[in-house]
Amino acid sequence: MILRVFRYIPFTIEQDQTAEPEYEARCVAGDESECGAESGTQSGPGPVEEWQRKHTQETGHRHYRRNFGDYAVMRPPAELAEPVEADGGTA
């Protein structure tokens, strides 16, 4: 058995502002096999809900699976994020 010891670094976890969150829905209506219609990936919940309303109006289907995904960034503590130059320079 191999034991590895890691030094604990208190990263904070933030949403990655450079990547858009992803919203989507899939119609799961149906008994034997589900409908499977998809909203496609959207950058906000609005267009997904709009698609659901339209799909329900057209088909009568009323059950959906919704997916939300976003990206996260691990931020090290400030002192590690911005290492201070050891060299003081000439003054």
> What distance lies between CA 42 and its chain's CA centroid?
12
Residues at the interface with Zn ion (CB under 5 A): 27, 29, 35, 37, 59, 61
For residue 64, the minimal CB distance to Zn ion (Å) is 8
Q: Where are the beta strands (DSSP E) in the chain?
A: 12-15, 22-27, 64-69, 72-75
Nearer to Zn ion, 30 or 46 (CB): 30
At residue 49, φ and ψ (nearest 5 deg) are -65, -40
Nearer to Zn ion, 20 or 38 (CB): 38
For residue 60, the minimal CB distance to Zn ion (Å) is 8
Q: From residue 53, how far is each of 12, 14, 24, 33, 41 by CA, in Å?
A: 38, 33, 14, 21, 16
Nearer to Zn ion, 21 or 26 (CB): 26
For residue 27, the minimal CB distance to Zn ion (Å) is 3
